[in-house]
Amino acid sequence: MCEPRYFDVHYAINPWMRDDVRVDTALALAQWQNLIDTYRAHGHTVETVPPVPGLPDMVFAANSALVVAGRVLGSNFHAEQRRPESAEYETWFKAAGYDVHHPASVCEGEGDLVPAGRYVLAGSGFRTTRAAHDEAQEFFGVPVIGLRLVDPYFYHLDTALFALDDPDDPDGGTIAYYPQAFSAGSREVLARLFPRAVVATRDDAMAFGLNSVSDGRHVFVAPQATGLIAQLDHRGYVPVPVDLSEFHKAGGGIKCCTQEIRS
């Protein structure tokens, strides 16, 4: 995770980011610290990458890479403003002992590449390209399922879908998602692959409910996503509400702030 010391909305690269929006930095810092504390209280290890002045979106650590079985596929950002983030994260990964493979095509890490059971689900349409899906499949040797995103409010796959089960679950795991964020064909693919999926409403998706992190039991979820929380509870998961409302102003939530290191 990366501290939001320099977090702000200085440019608009998704529909959530608006010129007239003011970020309360002190509140953002407190919300972010609360997310770290909550992860630690649930037994998760958290490490941090130093923030860099002039990179206000660097707090969205999920976009920097996808790590599966200790292999790191780095990032190659669509927006020019975010491109320097890749090298900052790479420095951290190298110091931590990982090699980083550079994608040649636009690729925004876990923002668009989501391990779910035996697959990596991969979004395209706004940021990460189909060519990057292909690179990810070659690099990880895991079947990559391409999904087409069609609603600009859900410009990254991780704003419209998250994996509910532990990715190590041999049964393949399941997901929660908002179907209308996807093209008709992609919706059909998801329904075939994940018949037990939790299907969320637009309200829950707009509340960043699908930008959640699950350890297979606890689901760290936006408290505003009340319908989704009720569904998760009913399915036997333990919803853990964590409010990141300041980050919603930049189009991000819990998952965006969290890079998962799958060693």
In the chain, % helix, strand, coil (3-state, to 5) comes to 35, 20, 50
**Mask for 47-86, x = binds ligand ARG (CB under 6 A):** ----------x--x-xx------------------x----
Contact residue for ligand ARG among 250, 254, 259, 260 (CB under 6 A): 250
Active site residue 156: yes
Q: Which two tokens stand for residue 174?
A: 């399941």
Burial of 263 (0-12, 13-18, 19+ CB in 10 A): exposed
- In the annotation, is 256 catalytic? yes
Could you say whether residue 135 binds ligand ARG (CB under 6 A)? Answer: no
Site stretch for ligand ARG (CB under 6 A), options 85-93, 144-152, 154-162, 170-178: 154-162
Q: What gap in Å lies between CA 90 and CA 97, rounded to an integer?
A: 11
> Could you say which of 156, 218, 248, 257 is catalytic?
156
Q: Closest CB to ligand ARG among 14 and 25?
A: 14
Token code pair at residue 166: 């532990």
Strands 218-221 and 238-241: parallel
Please measure the distance between the N-terminal and C-terminal CA atoms of the chain and give it in whole angstroms.
16
Q: Residue count at the site for ligand ARG (CB under 6 A)?
A: 16
Site membership for ligand ARG, residue 14 (CB under 6 A): yes
Stretch that binds ligand ARG, among 10-18, 31-39, 87-95, 167-175 (CB under 6 A): 10-18
Other CB atoms within a 10 A radius of the CB of residue 194 amount to 23
- Assess 111 for contact with ligand ARG (CB under 6 A): yes
Q: Is 161 in the site for ligand ARG (CB under 6 A)?
A: no
Q: Say if residue 72 is exposed, middle or buried (CB neighbours under 10 Å; 0-12, 13-18, 19+).
A: buried
Q: Which is nearer to ligand ARG, 144 or 244 (CB)?
A: 244
Strands 71-73, 66-68: pairing is antiparallel
Q: Residue 126, interface with ligand ARG (CB under 6 A)? A: no
Residues annotated catalytic, as ranges? 156, 256
Residues interacting with ligand ARG, by CB under 6 A?
13-14, 17, 57, 60, 62-63, 82, 111, 156, 158-159, 250-252, 256
